[in-house]
Amino acid sequence: MLKNKWIAKAGLAGLSILFCFGQLSAAVLKKGPYLIYDGVNTQMKVLWQLDSSLSCTIKWGRDASYSTGAANTDENGSGKHEHQHIYTIDGLTPYTHYLYKINCGAGVDGNGSFYTAPLSDARNVKLLVYGDTRSFPADHDAVNREMINTYTSDPEFQTIALHVGDWVNHGYQEADWSSQFFDPSHTYSNKFQANIPINGVRGNHEGDGNLFLKYFPYPYETGGFYWSFDYGPVHIAIVDQYVDYSPGSVQHNWLKKDLESSTKRWKFIVLHEPGWTAGGHDNNVDVQNHINSLAVKNGVNIIFAGHNHYYARADVDGIQHITTGGGGAPLYDPDSNAEKIVSSSKSYHFCEIDIRGDDLYFTAKDKNGLQIDSFHIALPTKMPASMPSIIAYLFD
Ligand SMILES: [Fe+2]
């Protein structure tokens, strides 16, 4: 009898140890799922990272049956890519809402949704812009909460978010990516990342970009973290200021050709260090001398930057130079009297862009949804192809 009791106790203890061990060894989703957009309106790239080696499945569809497609995924690679999964969903319909979910075993799952990018001939689009999300993830979370409110109240904003760089404090350290940008405890940031693709630039805090490339593998041009893409009626050029962009450089030649060849009515440049800003870090004279002139010649409407942790807008040669560095980094005091500055605010904030044909409506909002700036750009009405001959006839 005693022997049986001992065996029973030993068995229970063993089960307890197994249960505890099982709990301790359960895989954990460390990052994501999150989204990036490679510039193809029939695709969306989904990324996530576990703490151990597991195969996963991803399913997607127009509703919660996830019946459009499914795939199995394995780790993207070893070394720094350990336990990272990347899957590009293809064959989607442009400007369409999809749901997706991933599963890597019991209790290791995630889900989200997205809109594919608009058709190339779309005339209207809405999008979001922010950046400098480093250092204070709780403030980043608060900004993302209000950005979620924006696309919840108006689903046309669930499109894409542009990021102006300085994603984390030490971009060369895995620990900062884990505890800042991707920290699973910051639920609004996690939700935001799972439901809208984020495309952005390398800031100085991303260092050599080694880990930035891991987490944000956009289809870069050779030799730097610069590239461009179209989003409906907008052409967006991503400039890397930590690779030479002076006249004659490979990047400058690329940017010149890129802007000249785009036929989009709207053009944005996204970079990190602003040409005209409101104090803190000085105005970047290379942007003033090498980028602004290209922008003027090629019909760029807005140049987005960060680096200084506030909101500021400079109006230079009709181009709006936006500093939107209030995504979570410690705030600076903007100098409202700085050269060319027409608006500024010491706020955690983000920007909303609403393009309707030849009109662009811009609103900057703080983390509580209060408007801190707005402006409107109206493009000159395009002359119909037949007009020159009519004019020639009238004045003949
Ligand atoms: Fe910076």
Name the domain count of the chain: 2
Q: Are residues 105 and 249 in the same domain?
A: no
Instruction: Confirm whether 359 is domain-assigned.
Output: yes
| Average pLDDT of the chain, as a whole number | 91
Band the pLDDT of 73: cuts 50, 70, 90: very high
Using the mean position of ligand 1's atoms as its centre, give its distance from the Cα of residue 350 in Å: 17
- pLDDT confidence of residue 382: 58
Cα(153)–Cα(141) distance, rounded to whole angstroms? 18
Using the mean position of ligand 1's atoms as its centre, give its distance from the Cα of residue 134 in Å: 10
Cβ pair 324, 349 in contact under 8 A? yes
Instruction: Confirm whether 274 is domain-assigned.
Output: yes
Note the maximum CA span of the chain. Answer: 118
Q: Are residues 89 and 158 in the same domain?
A: no
Using the mean position of ligand 1's atoms as its centre, give its distance from the Cα of residue 311 in Å: 14
Q: Are residues 135 and 168 in the same domain?
A: yes
Q: Which residue has the higher pLDDT, 160 or 3?
A: 160
- pLDDT confidence of residue 108: 87
Instruction: Confirm whether 6 is domain-assigned.
Output: no
- pLDDT confidence of residue 26: 73
Using the mean position of ligand 1's atoms as its centre, give its distance from the Cα of residue 190 in Å: 23
Using the mean position of ligand 1's atoms as its centre, give its distance from the Cα of residue 194 in Å: 25
Using the mean position of ligand 1's atoms as its centre, give its distance from the Cα of residue 24 in Å: 39
- pLDDT confidence of residue 21: 39
For residue 378, give the 3-state DSSP assignment.
strand
Question: Given a cut of 50, is residue 7 above it in pLDDT?
Answer: no
Using the mean position of ligand 1's atoms as its centre, give its distance from the Cα of residue 240 in Å: 12
Band the pLDDT of 380: cuts 50, 70, 90: confident
Task: Decide which of 115, 135, 170 is a domain's last residue.
Answer: 115
Q: Are residues 215 and 306 in the same domain?
A: yes
Instruction: Confirm whether 294 is domain-assigned.
Output: yes
Band the pLDDT of 228: cuts 50, 70, 90: very high
Q: Are residues 233 and 188 in the same domain?
A: yes
pLDDT digits (tens, 9 = 90+) for 264-281: 999 999 999 999 999 999
Using the mean position of ligand 1's atoms as its centre, give its distance from the Cα of residue 278 in Å: 14
Q: Which residue has the higher pLDDT, 129 or 108?
A: 129
Q: For the chain, list the strands marked E by DSSP.
A: 29-36, 44-50, 56-61, 69-73, 84-89, 97-103, 109-115, 124-130, 161-163, 198-200, 227-231, 234-238, 266-270, 302-305, 311-316, 319-324, 341-345, 349-356, 359-366, 371-378
Nearest CA among 64, 179, 92 for reference residue 133: 179
Using the mean position of ligand 1's atoms as its centre, give its distance from the Cα of residue 273 in Å: 7
Cα(74)–Cα(85) distance, rounded to whole angstroms? 6
Using the mean position of ligand 1's atoms as its centre, give its distance from the Cα of residue 77 in Å: 30
Q: Are residues 96 and 180 in the same domain?
A: no
Instruction: Confirm whether 14 is domain-assigned.
Output: no
Instruction: Confirm whether 390 is domain-assigned.
Output: no
Q: Are residues 37 and 90 in the same domain?
A: yes
Using the mean position of ligand 1's atoms as its centre, give its distance from the Cα of residue 37 in Å: 23
Nearest CA among 265, 267, 102, 266 for reference residue 255: 267
The residue-averaged pLDDT of 273-294 equals 97
Cα(245)–Cα(256) distance, rounded to whole angstroms? 10
Q: Are residues 53 and 137 in the same domain?
A: no
Task: Decide which of 80, 115, 150 is a domain's last residue.
Answer: 115
Q: Are residues 259 and 284 in the same domain?
A: yes
Q: Are residues 289 and 158 in the same domain?
A: yes
pLDDT digits (tens, 9 = 90+) for 136-179: 999 999 999 999 999 999 999 999 999 999 999 999 999 999 99
Instruction: Confirm whether 207 is domain-assigned.
Output: yes
- pLDDT confidence of residue 24: 43
Q: What are phi and psi of 250, to 5 degrees?
A: -60, -45
**CATH code, 111:** 2.60.40.10
- pLDDT confidence of residue 86: 97
The torsion of the CA quartet 139, 348, 353, 48, rounded to 10 degrees, works out to -20
Using the mean position of ligand 1's atoms as its centre, give its distance from the Cα of residue 281 in Å: 9
Band the pLDDT of 394: cuts 50, 70, 90: very low
Using the mean position of ligand 1's atoms as its centre, give its distance from the Cα of residue 136 in Å: 14
pLDDT digits (tens, 9 = 90+) for 183-222: 999 999 999 999 999 999 999 999 999 999 999 999 999 9
The torsion of the CA quartet 228, 305, 163, 207, rounded to 10 degrees, works out to 90
* Domain span holding position 86: 29-115
- pLDDT confidence of residue 392: 45
Task: Decide which of 93, 115, 137 is a domain's last residue.
Answer: 115
Nearest CA among 308, 320, 323, 304 for reference residue 201: 304
Using the mean position of ligand 1's atoms as its centre, give its distance from the Cα of residue 189 in Å: 20
For residue 364, give the 3-state DSSP assignment.
strand
**CATH code, 223:** 3.60.21.10
- pLDDT confidence of residue 395: 40
Residue 346 CB neighbour total at 10 angstroms: 17
Is the sign of the CA dihedral 198, 201, 204, 210 positive or negative?
positive
Nearest CA among 176, 236, 230, 239 for reference residue 205: 176
Using the mean position of ligand 1's atoms as its centre, give its distance from the Cα of residue 308 in Å: 7
Using the mean position of ligand 1's atoms as its centre, give its distance from the Cα of residue 282 in Å: 11
Using the mean position of ligand 1's atoms as its centre, give its distance from the Cα of residue 165 in Å: 7
Q: Are residues 173 and 219 in the same domain?
A: yes
Using the mean position of ligand 1's atoms as its centre, give its distance from the Cα of residue 353 in Å: 23
Percent of the chain beyond pLDDT 70? 90
Cα(47)–Cα(86) distance, rounded to whole angstroms? 5
Instruction: Confirm whether 93 is domain-assigned.
Output: yes
- pLDDT confidence of residue 383: 53
User: Parallel, antiparallel, or unpaired for β 161-163 and 124-130?
Assistant: parallel
Q: Are residues 251 and 146 in the same domain?
A: yes
Question: Given a cut of 70, is residue 388 above it in pLDDT?
Answer: no
pLDDT digits (tens, 9 = 90+) for 116-129: 999 999 999 999 99
Using the mean position of ligand 1's atoms as its centre, give its distance from the Cα of residue 204 in Å: 5
